[in-house]
Amino acid sequence: MIVGCLERAGAAIIGCILLIGLPIANSQAQSLCDKDDLTSAVMGNKLCIVVETFNAKPTGEVTPVLAIMLHGDVSRGGPASYHVARMQQLAEGANIPTVAMIRPGYEIRSGRKSEGTHYKRRDSYTQANNRALGAAIKKLKTFHKARKVVLIGHSGGAAMAGVIIDTYPGLIDKAVLASCPCDIKAWRRNSGYSPFIRSQSPSMHIRNIERSTQVVAITGSEDRNTTPNLAIDYVWQLKARGIQAEAIIVKGASHSFNARLWHPVFREVTRFVEQHR
């Protein structure tokens, strides 16, 4: 390997650097979890999951409501950081602890990266990834001494949140699913996309959801990716099982998690906080 690097000075040396860099990234993520502070990273089923925490209460103080958010696939590339500012805004506006969680395999602008894989940002809503996030959320609920937990998900993060509330019944008190591809098979088929074969679908994971869990699916009327019917059909399934669920279609909003889509999400969370403060 070293001879190859010497013979081909340009690209080969870069290749060597990349190979050396991979273990460094993993050890960095592991060292974050070794600190065991649970405000920058948390272990979830053997994966070190990076988090950004805002407005954490002093140790030992009970938290009425903890809000956690999962980002989307960020399929165009780059860091998965767009939800960090939203969680900071929510922490300040609702005066609660909030956590921006980084899904397995993704990194944020600082370079900190969650362990695991996002399968090149495709078809990554796997059982292993969903369980890792669910286990991490469970630890955060205990760490923050939270009476209630609100889980926010956008796009792929909403799909994962929809499965987590079934896999970990009673862990989440309210799920706010923005731009949710709640029926993975229908989403891929109706959009003309190639099928997802690894991912778990919320529509196939509703049997164990705690009846007390509230679910709100919020989708833009102009969302051409995860179209409104996906949220509407999913909510209908939940209601048929006696679960308190609601679909909100935001006029003029698209798939993007911009202000037009964020405002109703913020409103749903702050309303829940006021009810349980």
Question: Which CATH topology does 38-276 take?
Answer: Rossmann fold (3.40.50)
Read off the pLDDT of each residue in 156-163 and give the average, rounded to a whole number: 98
Q: What is the per-residue pLDDT across 199-254, written as a single tens digit (0 to 9) for each?
A: 999 999 999 999 999 999 999 999 999 999 999 999 999 999 999 999 999 999 99
Read off the pLDDT of each residue in 46-60 and give the average, rounded to a whole number: 93
Strands 41-44 and 214-220: unpaired
Q: Are 191 and 225 in contact (CB under 8 A)?
A: yes
Q: Read out DSSP for 52-96?
A: EEESPPPTT--EEEEEEEE----TT-S-S-HHHHHHHHHHHHHTS
Select from 252, 185, 246, 181 the least CA-distant residue to 217.
246
Q: Are 245 and 175 in contact (CB under 8 A)?
A: no
How many residues are there in the chain? 277
> Roughly how many angstroms between the first and final C-alpha of the chain, as a whole number?
60
Domain with CATH 3.40.50.1820 in the chain: 38-276
Q: What is the per-residue pLDDT across 5-23, written as a single tens digit (0 to 9) for each?
A: 433 334 443 344 333 344 4
- Which pTM does this prediction carry? 0.89
